[in-house]
């Protein structure tokens, strides 16, 4: 019996290697950092990483997004979900929101082997399916960290690997709302994916999102869309 474990691990590695050797095809896992540049949409994405202190839920930000029905995508970690059952249920029930996953314990994936990465990635995917009947296909790695193995595992699991091309820097306590907005305004363009946080880590996030959706995006003829809408988007006008 003791031999079964290494054999299983070996088979898994062989399947990964075989996969790597396959000729590339349009379905090969890609790390997505933006949508089509012809799309007049921008994806506002909010990571829900676990927090040690505080509620872990940015109520003022969420109230703003919900009141104004602003399309947004949330990447939930398993540890965060375990403490926010009511919020998970609520967010899943809103049709202008999209929910993806962000690892089970917010691990540094490149420090782990394939099997451990698989367990970390699958945790919240299974939880969303089992407890909420929600199939989450979008995945964002904790800290945005990954290696080739991560890309292969994500592909094998049939998930879409979503990063960003604009880092708001919202959890940085030294950045004012003005500085964050300036940083976003300089970079934002059709098809952008912006990473923010909705776990209360970003003290300026609500203010940033208000200015962004009321002023900066409309001035550039851009509108917020979910990640899936962004990826499906063609050159339709807003
Ligand atoms: Zn995170």
Sign of CA dihedral 135, 137, 143, 148: positive
Helix (H, G, I), strand (E, B) or coil at 125: helix
Q: Which fold has domain 25-232?
A: TIM Barrel (3.20.20)
pLDDT at position 26 is 40
64 Cα–ligand 1 center, Å: 22
Span from the CA of 136 to the centroid of ligand 1 (angstroms): 17
Q: Which residues surround ligand 1, an ion (CB under 5 A)?
A: 47, 49, 142
Question: How far is 198 from 214, CA to CA, in rounded Å?
Answer: 19
Quick one: pLDDT at residue 124? 98
Strands (E), the chain: 31-32, 41-48, 72-76, 97-101, 138-139, 160-162, 166-167, 193-197, 223-225
Q: Ligand 1 centre from 49 Cα, in Å? A: 4
- What is the Å distance from ligand 1's center to 106 Cα? 6
From first to last of its 238 residues, what are the pLDDT tens digits of the chain?
A: 444 444 555 445 445 444 444 444 445 449 999 999 999 999 999 999 999 999 999 999 999 999 999 999 999 999 999 999 999 999 999 999 999 999 999 999 999 999 999 999 999 999 999 999 999 999 999 999 999 999 999 999 999 999 999 999 999 999 999 999 999 999 999 999 999 999 999 999 999 999 999 999 999 999 999 999 999 996 555 4
What integer pLDDT is reported at residue 10 of this predicted model? 47
The pLDDT score that the predictor gives to residue 61 is 98
CA–centroid distance, 76 to ligand 1, in Å, is 8
């Amino acid at each position: 019996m003791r031999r079964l474990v290494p054999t299983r691990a070996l088979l898994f590695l062989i399947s990964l290697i075989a996969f790597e050797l396959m000729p590339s095809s349009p379905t090969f896992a890609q790390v997505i950092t933006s949508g089509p540049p012809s799309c007049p949409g921008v994806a506002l994405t909010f990571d829900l990483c676990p927090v040690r202190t505080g509620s872990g839920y940015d109520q003022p930000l969420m109230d703003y997004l919900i009141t104004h029905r602003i399309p947004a995508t949330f990447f939930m970690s398993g540890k965060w979900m375990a403490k926010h059952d009511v919020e998970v249920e609520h967010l899943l029930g809103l049709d202008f929101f999209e929910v993806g996953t962000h690892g089970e314990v917010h691990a540094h994936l490149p420090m782990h082997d394939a099997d451990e990465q698989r367990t970390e990635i699958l945790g919240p995917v299974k939880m969303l399916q089992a407890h909420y009947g929600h199939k989450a296909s979008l995945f964002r790695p904790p800290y945005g960290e990954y290696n080739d193995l991560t890309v292969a595992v994500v592909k094998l699991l049939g998930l879409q690997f979503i990063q960003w091309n604009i880092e708001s820097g919202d959890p940085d306590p030294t950045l004012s709302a003005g500085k964050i907005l300036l940083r976003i305004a300089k970079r934002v363009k059709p098809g952008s994916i912006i990473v923010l946080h909705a776990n209360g880590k970003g003290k300026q996030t609500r203010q940033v999102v208000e200015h962004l959706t009321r002023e900066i995006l409309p001035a550039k003829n851009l509108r917020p869309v979910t990640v899936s809408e962004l990826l499906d988007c063609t050159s339709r006008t807003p």
